[in-house]
Amino acid sequence: MGASDVSTARPLGVGLLGLGVVGSAVAAGLMAGRGELAGEGARPLVLRKALVRDLRRKRTVDLDPGVLTTDPAAVLDDPSVDVVVEVMGGEQPAFDYISRAIRGGKHVVTANKEVLCKRGDELFTLAAEHGVRLLHEASVGGGIPIVGPLSSDLLANRIESIRAIINGTTNYILTKMAAQGAGFDQVLEEAKKLGYAEADPTSDVDGWDAAYKIAVLARVAFGVSVPLDAVHREGIRGLEAQEFRYAATLGYTIKLLAVARREQGGLLVRVHPALIPSSVPMAKVDGVLNVVEVEGDLVGPLWLQGRGAGPDATASAVLGDLLRIARGAEIRKNVAAARSADRLKLVSIDDHECKYYFRLVCKDRPGVLAQIAGILGKLQISIASVIQMDANAERGEADLVIMTHPSLERNVQKAVREIAALQVVARVASVLRVEAY
Amino acid sequence: MGASDVSTARPLGVGLLGLGVVGSAVAAGLMAGRGELAGEGARPLVLRKALVRDLRRKRTVDLDPGVLTTDPAAVLDDPSVDVVVEVMGGEQPAFDYISRAIRGGKHVVTANKEVLCKRGDELFTLAAEHGVRLLHEASVGGGIPIVGPLSSDLLANRIESIRAIINGTTNYILTKMAAQGAGFDQVLEEAKKLGYAEADPTSDVDGWDAAYKIAVLARVAFGVSVPLDAVHREGIRGLEAQEFRYAATLGYTIKLLAVARREQGGLLVRVHPALIPSSVPMAKVDGVLNVVEVEGDLVGPLWLQGRGAGPDATASAVLGDLLRIARGAEIRKNVAAARSADRLKLVSIDDHECKYYFRLVCKDRPGVLAQIAGILGKLQISIASVIQMDANAERGEADLVIMTHPSLERNVQKAVREIAALQVVARVASVLRVEAY
């Protein structure tokens, strides 16, 4: 169903792909009449079909048995379904289902950052060709309004940067590591038990989820397509308990940041753990909270914070998108097209400049610092402070924590390789960027 | 120009009412091509007319002399003007101009909280009758996206409460009073010199501006019309330097809050200085920053923070609304209509319950506390703590600071009258609500 008929009052049929916790919350919202909140003149939303794996599974939401189906075609090819809501996640079969829905003239609402990151170019082009909407507020930041504001309220701005904590699992783990002085593995196990981390935590702890999300936001904010391999991505798996203690001593907190910022005449998109000053508000965004900091040239700095996950928060965003369609909101253009006028190039982190934190486990003997300082100096990396901490006398080792002045990433990487090769250095335990505030 | 023609590609003519700092920033944005950001297929925005007081005044933005006019009719009756932007402020003549524009089939974008608070019912009804949009993102919180998210992204939520710091002038003054231990009059003079307070600061310091804004937000969030006299309003003029010191000692910060919250089976809308725990994030929103905290039943707590004023931030919101219209966004219904289904009643603060902070200047003699405690006890006001501070030995007076357990407003007001009449009480220096977090 295209744009032309959204003004009539007949119901807008919804087909759900996925009836897990998020899908059930969306269905519950529709059953509770939230689909009529678009008001008089808008099309009321009616749930027509829901794709499930097992028809007999006990569900939290009470649906007419005729609604449930195990056959994707029963959702995707049903002419009474005007909008398909995809809350299955993953690239496939989500991509196939979404494209088939679009080809069938159906609008799509999705919470799936992975498919949007990996196949967004194809999907948005397809949606434009077929004159349907592809909405995805739920794909980033749970219920925090961010895709909507970037697409609409803030559209007059040239966006300078987006800096966010957008993965609740890693933020929970980092918060606990900092508070308890505990190691990564221990906190991860706790997080799994509490349901804050999945059995296979790779997508979260290795930064994939945050990378998908910042790529999705960059498309909306900067009108640029960001392939996954153009996102500089580091996870939190390698962080050791000492880092949190040393960082705190130096006045910093460690967070997994997702950043898309104009620099070097282009756009740098990066996900990595970073030291941020403990005094700035972002240092206090703890646990599973998400925050997105947007800097626009007119609006200045904006701060949008809330629950980044959870069935109800995600359903809030999905239902908001459905109501947008029910009200016949504009379908002509994806905002990315409007933003793309300045044709931003994606740039590499190699030319990024920031302060760095190194922790080197060194042999506790004279002359160590001279050798390290020699390498740094040669590569134009200027030392701001050096602290020797926690000497492990038994092994004859000491932790050397070095903070640098702003330095060039490519030089830092080179320095790290040279330092690691020094005989007096047992290992380079940690190299972390210090985020500028 | 009604809804039917927004899909054509001919320009959308903009008429500006007011070319002060905000109007000039909007004009500059249009001249710089920001009106084309809605993208392909949308109507480019073109500035046609701007109403000014003085044609010869030197301006920061370079406009064709044919654009400027001192005649309102040249804007309001120009058939090439499709959207009127009203950035004059005040109830009149803004109300007359806006209604005339709407009657002429023009969309309206306004930053004017006063006219929306006082005459919103008439204006929104008129806009619905004429099939045009009346958009007002800029009326609250500068460039912070809040009207848009409440109208659209968060529409599926039942909003439970909105709690905000939405007046930069008072927040600046309170921040300075707390930091410097300075008195109100002194800080107000400083704020005037720095341009943070107007020559006549009444609208800000007496809470009118915040009252207009929370009434405007309540309409969007709860679908309820809030007459100005239904807003419980207290300003900050009466606050003395001691309060900040005592509040800090007790672990609190004083902020001017604007709150609309469901309680007593209805909606209570209130603006008043309040003690808030120094540990909560809102206590740290300092200076001219604004924050709006929204609690939705699905999304949970949301936090939206940014610059609440300034020409560019306000222009960001005005231009965002213009681009919405340029893209042909839905014009059928005002969201308030959709929200109004639960027909919330406005309730009085008399039945509000919270903790209270009293400062009583008492005669320093035995039996004082017994008399005060007697009155409080009789009125079911339970004392949480009593501290005698800063005795003024010369006058034989002492400051008695009493914190209560949650108590009923009507009882507190009665108690205050009885306490003030006591011979042993020189004066009731302060009665402040403690906001629950």
Q: What is the ipTM of this complex?
A: 0.93
- The pLDDT assigned to A402 comes to 97
Q: A153 vs B142: CB contact, 8 Å cut-off? A: no
Q: Which residues of chain A have pLDDT under 70?
A: 1-9, 329-342, 391
Return the CATH superfamily for domain A352-434. Answer: ACT domain (3.30.70.260)
pLDDT band at B394 (very low <50, low <70, confident <90, very high): confident
- Which is the catalytic residue, given B213, B284, B355, B378? B213
- The pLDDT assigned to A7 comes to 43
* Residue B284: active-site member: no
Q: How far apart (Å, rounded) are the C-alpha atoms in residues A425 and A435?
A: 26
CB A190 within 8 A of CB A173: no
Testing the interface with B: which of A109, A136, A155, A222 to mutate, by most B Cβ within 10 A?
A155
pLDDT, chain B, mean: 92
Q: B302 vs A144: CB contact, 8 Å cut-off? A: yes
pLDDT tens for B338-377 read 566 567 899 999 999 999 999 999 998 888 999 999 999 9
Asked if residue B224 has pLDDT above 90, the reply is yes
pLDDT tens for A249-271 read 999 999 999 999 999 999 999 99
Instruction: Find chain B residues with C-beta within 8 A of A45's C-beta.
Output: none
* CATH classification (class only), A3-143+314-340: alpha beta
DSSP code of residue A339:
H
Asked if residue B42 has pLDDT above 60, the reply is yes
Q: How far apart (Å, rounded) are the C-alpha atoms in residues A189 and B274?
A: 43
Return the CATH superfamily for domain B353-434. Answer: ACT domain (3.30.70.260)
Q: How far apart (Å, rounded) are the C-alpha atoms in residues A120 and B316?
A: 28
Q: How far apart (Å, rounded) are the C-alpha atoms in residues A218 and B333?
A: 32
**What SS3 state is found at B59?**
coil
Return the CATH superfamily for domain A155-307. Answer: Dihydrodipicolinate Reductase; domain 2 (3.30.360.10)
pLDDT tens for A188-221 read 999 999 989 999 999 999 999 999 999 999 999 9
For chain A, the structural domain boundaries read 3-143+314-340, 155-307, 352-434
Q: List C-alpha distances in Å: B155 to A86, B46, B210, B325, B338.
A: 20, 31, 23, 19, 9
Q: How far apart (Å, rounded) are the C-alpha atoms in residues B408 and B403?
A: 14
- The pLDDT assigned to A392 comes to 77
pLDDT tens for B230-287 read 999 999 998 999 999 999 999 999 999 999 999 999 999 999 999 999 999 999 999 9
E strand or H helix at A52, and its extent? none
Ramachandran region, residue A76 (left: φ > 0; alpha: ψ -120 to 50; beta: rest): alpha
Instruction: Find chain B residues with C-beta within 8 A of A304's C-beta.
Output: 302-305
Q: How far apart (Å, rounded) are the C-alpha atoms in residues B277 and A382?
A: 42
Asked if residue B141 has pLDDT above 50, the reply is yes
- Which is the catalytic residue, given A213, A255, A284, A355? A213
Asked if residue B135 has pLDDT above 60, the reply is yes
- The pLDDT assigned to A5 comes to 41
Of the candidates A415, A399, A397, A408, the one whose C-alpha atom is nearest the C-alpha of residue A433 is: A408
pLDDT band at B327 (very low <50, low <70, confident <90, very high): confident
In CATH, the number for domain B148-307 is 3.30.360.10
